[in-house]
Amino acid sequence: MPIQELILLVIVMMNVVLGWLIFWNNHRTPMTRWFAAFAWSLAFWALTLIGFRAVPDLDIAAVFLRMAYISAICIAASLSLFMHYFPEAQPFGIVRKLFFTLSALAVGIFLMLPGTLITDVRIENGVRAGTQTISGYNIFTAYFVFYYFGALYLLYKRWRTAVAETRTHISYIIWSVLFLGLFGVFFNLILPSPWIHEWRFTWVGPIFSTIVVFSVAYAIAKYRLMDVRILAAELLTITIVFLLFTQIFFGESARELLTHSTFFVLAAFFGWFLIRSIRREAKQREELARLTIELERANAELKKIDQRKSEFLSLASHQLRTPLTAIKGYASMLLEGSFGAVSETLQKPLDTIFKSSDRLVRIIEDFLTISRIEQNRLVYTFATADLRKIVSELAEDFKQAAEARNLAFSFAVTDEGDYRAQIDEGKIVQVISNVIDNALKYTPKGSVAVTLGMTDGKTARVCVKDTGVGMDEETKKIIFEKFTRAKDANAVSTTGTGLGLYVAHELITAHKGRIWVESGGKGKGSTFCIELPLMSM
C-alpha cells in the first residue's frame, strides 16, 4: 500500500477512535454527539479519498470522489452544529433545524448526481484527477464556506461573552479551526479547483483536519474535566492495535502471518492492561481529589465552629468573671475584718467562699486566655522585670497553702546573678502560679521545691519539683495539650480542668522560652521546668 493511502488509513482510524472516545465518555450531551459526528465525517472523508486514489476502476473512483464531497458537506454541517453547542447549548429553533437538515440533504443529493459536480475521473501525468463543473464547484464551495466561517463567527460571539477560563478553551478551538482548517481547504478545495486543477496533494488535507479534531477534543476534555492522558493513551493504544491488525492481511507467508498475529495479540493484551491501569489511577486520583475537597469543606466548617466556640467562651468568661471577682473581693474583705469583726462560726464558710471563688477566677482566666490565643487577640505587654523577685514572692504566697496541706515547701536560688528579663509580668506570674498550684494539688504527701537558676548566664530556669502522683511517658507527651490531665490525677484532685499547662505552654512559647516536664513514672513525682531568656548585658 502506498504511503499516502497508509497515512489516510491511520487518519480514518484515529478519527473514528477519538470520536468514539469523546462520545463514550459523555454521550448524553449534544456537544459530544456532534463532535463525534464531526470526527466520523472526517474519517469518512479520508476513507473516500482512499477509494478515489486506490480503486482500479475509474468509474468507481468517481463515485468515491463524489462521496468525498458529500463527506465534506457533513464535516461543515457537523462542525457548525458542534460550535452551536460548545461550550453550552443555545436556543435552536425548529426553523434552523429544518434549514440545516434540508440544505445538507439537498446539496448532498445534488452532488451525487452524475455530471453536477464530478463528471468523470481520469489519470493525468500519473495522477488521478476529477473533472469538475464550475456551477457544481461554486455551489459546493458556497455551502462549505458559509458553514465553515459561520461556525467560526458563532464561536467568536460566544468568546466575547464568555468568562476567562471558558474563553481560553474557545480561543483554542477558534485558532485551530481557522489556521489548520484553512490548510485543509487549501489542499482539497483550492488546489483541485477547475482553474488550478492540482490533484497530487488531496491526501494532505485530512492530516491538518485531523489536527483540528485533536485540538477540539483536547479543548472538550479540558472543559468537561476529562482526563486528557486517558484519552491519549486509549487513542494511541487502539490505533497501534488496529495498525498491527491490518498488517495481518499483508503477510506474504505463513511465518509473516504468525509474526503479525503474535504482535497483534500481545499489543492488544498489553494495551488493554495499560488502559485499565491508567483508568484505575485516574479514578483513584479523582476520588482523592473529591475527598480532599470534602476535607477542606469539613475543616472550614470546623474552623467556623471553633471560632464560634471561642467567641462564646470569651463572652461567657467575661460575664462570669465580674461577679466572681466581686464575690472574691468581698469575701477577702470580710475575712480581713474590713466590715467589722467576724465570728469564728463564719470564718470557715467565708474562707471556703474565698478559695472557691479564687479557683473559679483562675479557671475563667484560663478560658479567657485560650479564647484570645485561638482568636489571635492575646495582647502582650513586655517590660523589664526581675524574675527573682517574681518567683520569690510567688513562693512566699504559696508557702502558706503548702503548710495547710501538710507539705514541706522550699524555695532556693541556685545561681547568683542578674535575673532581669523582657516579659509580660502578669502572664509569667500566671504561668508560674499554675505550675506551683498543680504541684500542690497533685502531691498528697511529701514536698514541693521551687528553684531558680541560670544556664550559661543567658537563660533563667524555674523548676518546680514535687513528690506527687508523677506520670508515665505517654502522659508526658500530651500533658501540654488542651483538656489533658495525668491518668491518676482525679484520685488526688478533682478540681483541675486540664487547661493550665496548655496556657502555660502557649505563653512561654510567645516569650521565646520553653516549658517541659520530667518524671520517673507513676508515683515518683514530677519536675516542671520553665526557661526564659534574660536581658543581654
Distance CA 399, CA 395 (A): 6
> Is residue 319 located within the same domain as residue 395?
no
Q: What's the confidence (pLDDT) of residue 173?
A: 82
> Is residue 332 located within the same domain as residue 409?
no
Could you please report the per-residue DSSP string of 107-158? HHHHHHSTTTSEEEEEEETTEEEEEE-HHHHHHHHHHHHHHHHHHHHHHHHH
Q: Mind listing the pLDDT tens digit for each residue in 276-304?
A: 777 777 778 778 888 888 898 888 888 87
> Is residue 65 located within the same domain as residue 207?
yes
65 pLDDT above the threshold of 80: yes
Do 401 and 440 touch, CB atoms closer than 8 A?
yes
Model confidence at 497, pLDDT cuts 50, 70, 90, reads low
Across the strands, what pairs with 386? 420
> Is residue 78 located within the same domain as residue 181?
yes
In a domain, 262, yes or no: no
Q: Mind listing the pLDDT tens digit for each residue in 72-113?
A: 999 988 888 888 887 776 766 677 777 877 888 888 888 888
In a domain, 208, yes or no: yes
> Is residue 326 located within the same domain as residue 208?
no
User: Where in the sequence is the domain holding 150, given as residue range(s)?
Assistant: 3-225
Q: Mind listing the pLDDT tens digit for each residue in 334-347?
A: 777 777 777 777 77
> Is residue 349 located within the same domain as residue 440?
no
Across the strands, what pairs with 460? 454, 532
In a domain, 29, yes or no: yes
Q: Tell me what the mean pLDDT of segment 508-535 comes to.
A: 91
Q: Tell me what the mean pLDDT of segment 243-255 comes to.
A: 72
> Is residue 150 located within the same domain as residue 221?
yes
523 pLDDT above the threshold of 50: yes
Distance CA 310, CA 289 (A): 31
Q: What's the confidence (pLDDT) of residue 137?
A: 93
Give me 198's grid cell.
Answer: 492540482
> Is residue 472 located within the same domain as residue 422?
yes
Give me 139's grid cell.
Answer: 455551489
- Provide the CATH number for the domain around residue 302: 1.10.287.130
Distance CA 442, CA 429 (A): 20
Do 498 and 483 touch, CB atoms closer than 8 A?
yes
Q: Among 504, 511, 497, 463, which residue's Cα sits nearest to residue 480?
A: 504
Model confidence at 227, pLDDT cuts 50, 70, 90, reads low
Q: Mind listing the pLDDT tens digit for each residue in 472-494?
A: 888 888 888 876 766 665 556 55
Give me 531's grid cell.
Answer: 526557661
Model confidence at 516, pLDDT cuts 50, 70, 90, reads very high
Do 361 and 383 touch, CB atoms closer than 8 A?
no
Distance CA 221, CA 23 (A): 11
228 pLDDT above the threshold of 60: no
Q: What's the confidence (pLDDT) of residue 274?
A: 77
Q: Among 80, 29, 22, which residue's Cα sits nearest to residue 222?
A: 22
440 pLDDT above the threshold of 50: yes
448 pLDDT above the threshold of 90: yes
> Is residue 74 located within the same domain as residue 189?
yes
Mean pLDDT, the chain, whole residue set: 82
Cα–Cα separations (whole angstroms), residue 65 to 124, 202, 278: 16, 11, 41
Could you please report the per-residue DSSP string of 318-375? HHHHHHHHHHHHHHHHHHHTTTS---HHHHHHHHHHHHHHHHHHHHHHHHHHHHHHHT
In a domain, 266, yes or no: no
Q: Tell me what the mean pLDDT of segment 240-249 comes to.
A: 72
> Among 374, 392, 416, which residue terminates a domain?
374
> Is residue 42 located within the same domain as residue 177?
yes
Question: How far from chain centre, in Å, is Cα 3?
Answer: 47
Q: Tell me what the mean pLDDT of segment 493-516 comes to.
A: 82
Could you please report the per-residue DSSP string of 491-523? HH-S---S-HHHHHHHHHHHTT-EEEEEESSTT
Q: What's the confidence (pLDDT) of residue 267?
A: 80
- Provide the CATH number for the domain around residue 407: 3.30.565.10
Distance CA 234, CA 240 (A): 10
> Among 179, 198, 225, which residue terminates a domain?
225
426 pLDDT above the threshold of 80: yes
Model confidence at 159, pLDDT cuts 50, 70, 90, reads confident
Number of structural domains (the chain) is 3
Phi, psi dihedrals of residue 204, rounded to the nearest 5°: -80, -35
47 pLDDT above the threshold of 90: yes
Give me 53's grid cell.
Answer: 486514489
**Number of Cβ atoms within 10 Å of the Cβ of 301:** 10
Distance CA 4, CA 306 (A): 69
Q: Tell me what the mean pLDDT of segment 41-60 comes to.
A: 92
**N- to C-terminal Cα distance for the chain?**
93
In a domain, 174, yes or no: yes
Highest mean pLDDT (candidates 2-16, 169-183, 502-516):
502-516
Would strands 526-533 and 459-466 be described as parallel, antiparallel, or unpaired? antiparallel
> Is residue 391 located within the same domain as residue 344?
no
231 pLDDT above the threshold of 70: no
Q: Among 303, 310, 298, 359, which residue's Cα sits nearest to residue 482?
A: 310
182 pLDDT above the threshold of 90: no
Q: What's the confidence (pLDDT) of residue 225?
A: 42
Burial of 466 (0-12, 13-18, 19+ CB in 10 A): buried
Instruction: Answer with the residue of higher pLDDT: 260 or 45.
Output: 45
In a domain, 464, yes or no: yes
In a domain, 274, yes or no: no
521 pLDDT above the threshold of 80: yes
> Among 374, 399, 414, which residue terminates a domain?
374
In a domain, 248, yes or no: no
Q: What percent of the chain has pLDDT over 70?
A: 87
Q: What's the confidence (pLDDT) of residue 232?
A: 65
Distance CA 137, CA 111 (A): 9
- Provide the CATH number for the domain around residue 110: 1.20.1070
Q: What percent of the chain has pLDDT over 90?
A: 28
Instruction: Answer with the residue of higher pLDDT: 319 or 68.
Output: 68
Q: Which 8-state DSSP code applies to residue 408?
A: E
What's the pTM?
0.52
> Is residue 388 located within the same domain as residue 366?
no
Q: What's the confidence (pLDDT) of residue 494?
A: 55
DSSP, collapsed to helix, strand or coil, labels residue 424 as: coil
DSSP, collapsed to helix, strand or coil, labels residue 248 as: helix
Helix, strand, coil fractions of the chain, as percent rounded to 5: 65, 10, 20
2 pLDDT above the threshold of 50: yes
Do 48 and 65 touch, CB atoms closer than 8 A?
yes
Across the strands, what pairs with 411? 450
250 pLDDT above the threshold of 80: no
Q: Among 496, 245, 221, 510, which residue's Cα sits nearest to residue 380?
A: 510
Report the largest interatomic distance among the alpha carbons of the chain, rounded to a whole angstrom: 133
